[in-house]
Structure 1
């Protein structure tokens, strides 16, 4: 029997003038690293890294569930609302969590929609961070699917979402982790994956902001899986080439959810990414 070193707690922050109770997990000490999950999922995607004693020996890893996701409940009155994530609300949420947890210029590591918002923050609020690890991230891809399928009365949105993302998982991923990853999508709240994808597939504002990113002040490293159909290596390379000084790594045996679907395959790339970031310490 063993008890994992991950500690889970809640913090209340104001987003858009509305109080939100946010669930977060943390492990380790040293340089703060804030980790963002993908669309339709939650912090469980980061559990392998949070349990990695070598990484957490010198890094304080923090991961939180976005509102409406995982253990973070929707706001009061959600039953009368349509959940549609926006860039502004996403940025406000990340900055509010940083302030509430007193994270001093953390490294921001985000995957998929988390990688997209990491690049937005690199352009707009770089002074709040020491560096950016953008995983499965690119400037923009319009949907090649109908996102309304993920919130219909005649279909199970979670299972529809899992079916879609199953094609984005590498064949090299261990079967157990493939299914653990898909289970998170199956558990997604009604309309949540659709609301995330609305942000991911409709907001193209990052394209014109890439030129604002100054990697001489805050480094940007992009990581992409060769088996990612949503954010392909070509998409990531296009994006990296538009950011002067950005670096890029392609993972040959990994798909769109590297830290979850294939943790052993992802680990060396994550370690290498952290080595590119400033060696700041928590205060």
Structure 2
């Protein structure tokens, strides 16, 4: 049977702009939200935007208990570069200090009391940085496709991977693609699960194709240079800030790094997601929900995570 017409129906998500002062500059930041309850801040992947989380915003199993907020980082999507500064004369470079300010300041101005943070890729790395440096600001963090450090490409199994202090090669996505968003977007198809619905795979690609030139390489600076928690896993206190890790088993580069990370953080809850890739929330949202919902249940004290 054909799907019923949705002509004239509004989605639950509502979009707004809020001004954030970050490192002394004024930023006009776009976010969409739906639902009520505990805050759930959603961070997109490098070079993309908050549209990756649109399915969570429409999932009543989540929005009935959480105030879901998906934001665009400055320079991404509908969020702008800083006002009052000649940003066009600068090279965009994302740093850990700046990136951690975004969710912490957004939570403050939106009045969120100890929200949950979830992010994928860059957002997954950020989740672990927040657990390390801001454990009392968040009820829990969920790191999708995250790791203590993500360096050189080529690790194909946990046995081959070691987090040694000399592993300073560029991150696996940092290939020289001429910084052409369309070309880069096409490459991202190989990072998605082969069994994910084709329409969602293509939509995820489209998000990347619409990114501004130079933004993706600038984002990658964060987790190829600033994000480095090697030797600090014991400083992540999961009793103060519970840490959950979800990694798609089709994300062939990230899996060994994620598994090595999970082995080092005491009390972490880690799960591999069958058939899923680097963008679980957008490439296969229904399958992703089957892993995420039990985690959210546990965070709210409504049952153990599967």
Q: Which has the higher contact order (CA 8 A, sep 6+)?
A: 1
The answer as to whether partners of 2:129 and 2:227 remain within 8 angstroms in 1 is: no
Matched residue of 1:250: which SS? strand
Distance 2:77 2:173 in 1: 24
Deviates more, 1:113-122 or 1:72-81: 72-81
Question: 2:150 aligned with 1:141, yes or no?
Answer: yes
Matched residue of 1:126: which SS? coil
Residue of structure 1 in register with 2:166 after alignment: none
Distance 2:264 2:130 in 1: 16
* Deviation of the 1:229 alpha carbon: 2.9
Q: 1:260 to 1:150 in 2, by over 3 A?
A: farther
The answer as to whether partners of 1:120 and 1:209 remain within 8 angstroms in 2 is: no
Contiguous gaps of at least 5 residues in structure 2: 1-6, 152-170
Matched residue of 1:138: which SS? coil
Residue of structure 1 in register with 2:13 after alignment: 6
The answer as to whether partners of 2:41 and 2:103 remain within 8 angstroms in 1 is: no
Question: Which is helix-richer, 1 or 2?
Answer: 1
Question: 2:100 aligned with 1:91, yes or no?
Answer: yes
The answer as to whether partners of 1:36 and 1:64 remain within 8 angstroms in 2 is: yes
- The normalised TM-score by structure 1 is 0.93
Alignment of 1:1-283 (within 5 A): 1=7, 2-76=9-83, 77-142=86-151, 143-144=171-172, 146-151=174-179, 157-232=180-255, 234-278=256-300
Q: What are the Cα deviations for residues 120-148 of structure 1, in whole angstroms up to 9, with x where unaligned?
A: 01011110010011111011122246444
- The normalised TM-score by structure 2 is 0.86
Deviates more, 1:261-270 or 1:92-101: 92-101
Distance 1:25 1:279 in 2: 26
Matched residue of 2:191: which SS? coil
Q: Which has the larger radius of gyration?
A: 2
Contiguous gaps of at least 5 residues in structure 1: 152-156
Residue of structure 2 in register with 1:154 after alignment: none
Q: What are the Cα deviations for residues 97-139 of structure 1, in whole angstroms up to 9, with x where unaligned?
A: 1111111100111111001011001011110010011111011
* Deviation of the 1:253 alpha carbon: 1.3
Distance 1:101 1:260 in 2: 25
Q: 1:145 to 1:180 in 2, by over 3 A?
A: closer
Deviates more, 1:30-39 or 1:210-219: 210-219
- Flag as ranges the 4+ runs of structure 1 deviating above 6 A: none
Distance 1:80 1:204 in 2: 26
Matched residue of 1:214: which SS? coil
RMSD of equivalent CA atoms: 1.5
The answer as to whether partners of 2:174 and 2:217 remain within 8 angstroms in 1 is: no
Length, aligned pairs only: 274
Q: 1:60 to 1:146 in 2, by over 3 A?
A: closer
Distance 2:274 2:192 in 1: 12
Q: 1:125 to 1:145 in 2, by over 3 A?
A: closer
The answer as to whether partners of 1:230 and 1:256 remain within 8 angstroms in 2 is: no
Q: What are the Cα deviations for residues 137-171 of structure 1, in whole angstroms up to 9, with x where unaligned?
A: 011122246444353xxxxx111221221110001
